[in-house]
Amino acid sequence: MSNTAVDQNIDLKVSKLAENIIGSEIIKLAAEVNEKIKKGEKVYNLTIGDFNPKVFPIPAELKKAIITEYENDMTNYPAADGMLELRTAVSKLLKERGGLDYKTDEIVIAGGARPVIYAIFRALVDAGDTVLFPVPSWNNNHYTYLNNAKQVLIETTPENKFMPTAADLQPHIASANLIALCSPLNPTGTTFRKKDLEEICDMILAENVKRNAEKKKPLYLMYDQIYWALTHGNTQHFDPVSLRPEMKNYTVFVDGISKSLAATGVRVGWSMGPKKIIDKMKSILTHVGAWAPKAEQLATAVYLNDLAGYDTFLADIKSKINDRLVGFYKGFQSLKAEGYKVDAIAPEAAIYLTVQFSLHGQKTEAGAVLSTTQDVTKYILDEAKVALVPFYAFGASADSSWYRLSVGTCRLEDVDGVIENLRAALKKLK
Q: How many CB atoms are located within 10 Å of the residue 175 CB?
A: 12
The residues near 358 (Cβ < 8 Å, ≥ 6 apart) are 341, 342, 343, 401
> What pTM was estimated for this model as a whole?
0.95
Peptide bond between residue 136 and the one before it cis (omega within 30 degrees of 0): yes
CA pair distance 58, 66, nearest whole angstrom: 11
Strands 178-182 and 150-155, sheet pairing: unpaired
pLDDT of residue 6: 61
CA pair distance 65, 304, nearest whole angstrom: 11
Look at residues 254, 165, 246 and name the one whose alpha carbon lies nearest to residue 205.
246
pLDDT of residue 25: 75
pLDDT of residue 1: 47
Q: Which helix (H) or strand (E) holds 405?
A: strand 402-406
**Three-point CA angle 391, 27, 228, nearest 5°:** 60
DSSP symbol at 185 = -
Crossing angle, helix 307-337 and helix 294-304, to 10 degrees? 90
pLDDT in tens, 299-325: 999 999 999 999 999 999 999 999 999
The rounded Cα 397 to chain-centroid distance in angstroms is 19
pLDDT of residue 7: 66
Measured between its terminal Cα atoms, the distance across the chain in Å is 61
Residue 342 phi/psi, 5° resolution?
-135, 165
**Domains of the chain in sequence order:** 16-56+314-427 (3.90.1150.10), 60-311 (3.40.640.10)
Q: Answer yes or no: are the C-beta atoms of 107 and 285 closer than 8 Å.
A: no
How many CA atoms does the CB half-sphere of 173 hold within 13 Å? 22
**Three-point CA angle 25, 30, 34, nearest 5°:** 155
In the chain, which stretches have pLDDT less than 50? Answer: 1
Q: Where are the beta strands (DSSP E) in 169-288?
A: 178-182, 220-224, 251-256, 269-272
**386: helix, coil or strand?**
strand
CA pair distance 275, 273, nearest whole angstrom: 6
pLDDT of residue 5: 60
**297: helix, coil or strand?**
helix
CA pair distance 59, 309, nearest whole angstrom: 9
CA pair distance 161, 249, nearest whole angstrom: 29
pLDDT in tens, 359-408: 999 999 999 999 999 999 999 999 999 999 999 999 999 999 999 999 99
